[in-house]
Amino acid sequence: MLNNINNIRLQFPILHQEVNGKPLVYFDNAATTQKPKLVIDALQRYYELDNANIHRAAHTLAARSTEYFEATRKTIQQFINAKEEAECIFTKGVTESINLVAQTWGKANLKAGDEVLVTTMEHHSNIVPWQMICEEKGAILKVIPISNSGDLLMEEFDKLLTSKTKMVACVWVSNALGTINPVKEIIQKAHAVGAIVLLDGAQACSHLQVDVQALGCDFLTISSHKLYGPTGVGVLYGKRELLEAMPPYQGGGEMIKEVTFEKTTYNEIPYKFEAGTPNIGGVIAFKYALDFVNELGKENIAKHEDHLLKHFVDGVTQINLLNNHAITLVGQANNKVSVQSFTINNMHHFDVGMMLDAKGIAVRTGHHCTQPLMQRFNLEGTVRASFALYNTTAEVDVLLQALGSIVKFSNR
Amino acid sequence: MTTTDIQNEIIDNFSLFEGDMESTLFYLMDLGKKLPAMPDEHKTETYIVKGCQSKVWVFPTFIDGKVHFEADSNTEITKGLVYLLWSIWNAKTPEEILNSELFFIDKIGMSSMIGSQRSNGFANMIKQMKLYALAYKTKGA
Ligand SMILES: Cc1ncc(COP(=O)(O)O)c(C=O)c1O
């Protein structure tokens, strides 16, 4: 467990404010997490002291920013236990990481009749890039269905997985349901038919231990802003042999070895995929977020967050006992992270979101960029509360109380 | 009552909540219930107000020189907002609608209350109702 939650909260300046006259309760962590002071300071320090373009000029500032930039690569390599730093490519987020794979690996490897498997619970960013490349190549996108509780139907996966399957692109942890998918089993089965596996790690990496070598995944996508780091920074992990064989993504500076008007030769990985000037300050500050999470320990964080989730679900059960089951939990997988979607009878999720905002509580409402998943549950959207390492049971109680009065109002 | 009188009454009613958001929102949702039912056959694509986060329909008719509105929304808070506009402008002449300034919005702290995304939707509702009034004015003249 995380002891000393108050000390942890003190490191997040944004938490200490009032919203609509009430202390802010931030439960929209699955959308983006808040940033510790260390990260904010690192960003500021970079622009005040170190700003220079990387991998280029011979001056001291450039050397310094290059060194710090590459230090983050080392840290993320260790964070996910990649074999080598060169397998970690900086992008602007998970969306770009997935598009990169679809547009390079997909372009080089998919042909007419090939199949790409995704799950019903994918974020749009792990659907649309595959739809685009499948359409271009005449490949077919197939969908692994889920149960009412929000678990993948593995026997359906077994049926869909054939020698035609070239790619299994699968969310590790669902942002809308919180479900932790059995990715190890998925990877083993996919590899057995010769398919490549991309894991969307947007939500997983802040909650779960990540070891890409133990998992054996071919690609993993990571987003800094969901991991207590700056926005506009992401990582694509890929196995060296795959990355080397892939054509470049964007052309420009940094990604070349030599350019003539007749022919250009490309740089080595990871630089081959890092055209142009990246978000240098953001990447440098991301290291501080990773160090922060490492120091607290993923296991401790997960225990704390699981406790918050259980406290919330128990509270909802109580409200439901007294109010004719007014709240429906959406996503009740056995194995899940601290994300809980729900709906309230006779109340639109937008109205619930505004009522909670009136109490200083920030939640997400809507389809969570998972419209096919919402359609699966016959919903237009849900309210989603997602808990992070700096949240407290007292805050969960504030939410439960607010929900209690909304439910009473809706029953009037 | 003139559009000014109605707005003054709205301001008075909202002032009772002394800026407490939660009670204001509950009140708005209750106001929404007062909106006369809108027949489903009028809730078509044509009568949707574009640019609202929630769905909002406004269906106008022109009877004896006055504009009558049917309106509805799929969310309750927005329906309360729709009710406010309806209560000010329903069964008024196009001129009354076009010449009225909606001063109640600032006075009841509407913009801080409904957030910028919804404010935009609200602005679109206002624009749409005025456009209908303008159309009848042009046609009816
Ligand atoms: C599961 C999942 N995949 C992808 C994304 C997109 O990530 P990014 O914001 O880094 O592009 C998100 C973020 O909402 C997500 O939750």
Best probe residue, ligand 1, of A199, A226, A236, A367 (max atoms within 8 Å of C-beta): A226
Q: What is the pLDDT of residue A397?
A: 98
Q: pLDDT tier at A3 (50, 70, 90 boundaries)?
A: confident
Chain B contact for A8 (CB, 8 A cutoff): no
Given A295, A312, A339, the domain boundary residue is: A295
Q: What is the pLDDT of residue B50?
A: 85
Q: What is the pLDDT of residue A135?
A: 98
Distance CA A152, CA A117 (A): 13
Span A235-291, pLDDT tens digits: 999 999 999 999 999 998 888 888 988 888 889 999 999 999 999 999 999 999 999
Same-domain status, A281 and A331: no
C-alpha distance from B55 to closest chain A C-alpha (Å): 11
Given A277, A295, A313, the domain boundary residue is: A295
Dihedral angle sign, alpha carbons of residues A97, A103, A108, A113? positive
* CB contact at 8 A, A218 and A197: yes
Q: pLDDT tier at A58 (50, 70, 90 boundaries)?
A: confident
Q: Quick check: B22 and A350 CB within 8 A?
A: no
Distance CA B40, CA B55 (A): 13
Same-domain status, A78 and A215: yes
Q: What is the pLDDT of residue A1?
A: 76
Same-domain status, A275 and A359: no
Q: pLDDT tier at B115 (50, 70, 90 boundaries)?
A: low
* CB contact at 8 A, A170 and A199: yes
Same-domain status, A43 and A19: no
* Element housing A66 (H / E): helix A60-80
The mean of the pLDDT values for chain B is 89
Q: pLDDT tier at A150 (50, 70, 90 boundaries)?
A: very high
A29 lines ligand 1 (CB under 6 A): no
Span B18-35, pLDDT tens digits: 888 888 899 999 999 999
In 3D space, the residue among A285, A360, A331, A283 whose CA is nearest the CA of residue A73 turns out to be A283
Q: Count of domains in chain A?
A: 2
Q: How far apart, in Å, are the Cα atoms of B50 and each of B20, B29, B124?
A: 30, 22, 7
User: What's the DSSP call for residue A53?
Assistant: -
Same-domain status, A71 and A200: yes
CA of A226 to the centre of ligand 1 (A): 8
Q: What is the pLDDT of residue A351?
A: 93
Of A256-265, A332-341, B106-115, minimum mean pLDDT range: B106-115
Q: What percent of chain A has pLDDT over 70?
A: 100
Q: Is the peptide bond before A270 cis (omega within 30 degrees of 0)?
A: yes
pTM of the model: 0.93
Q: What is the pLDDT of residue A255?
A: 87
Domain boundaries, chain B: 3-139
Same-domain status, A205 and A322: no
Distance CA A24, CA A16 (A): 7
Chain A interface, best mutation among B18, B76, B116, by max A CB count within 10 A? B76
Q: Considering just the CA atoms, what is the radius of gyration of chain A in Å?
A: 22
Same-domain status, A144 and A253: yes
Mean pLDDT on B67-76? 95
Same-domain status, A290 and A191: yes
Q: 3-state DSSP call for residue A115? A: strand
pLDDT for residue B141 is more than 60: no
Q: pLDDT tier at B131 (50, 70, 90 boundaries)?
A: very high
* Element housing B81 (H / E): helix B76-89
Chain A contact for B26 (CB, 8 A cutoff): yes
Same-domain status, A233 and A321: no
Given A238, A271, A295, the domain boundary residue is: A295
- A359 to chain B: nearest residue by CA? B22
pLDDT for residue A353 is more than 70: yes
Distance CA A153, CA A144 (A): 7
Q: What percent of chain B has pLDDT over 90?
A: 68
pLDDT for residue B118 is more than 70: no
Instruction: Report ipTM (2 d.p.).
Output: 0.85
Mean pLDDT on B113-132? 79
pLDDT for residue B119 is more than 70: no
CATH code for position A24: 3.90.1150.10
The domain B3-139: what is its CATH number? 3.90.1010.10
Structural domain boundaries enclosing A216? 39-295
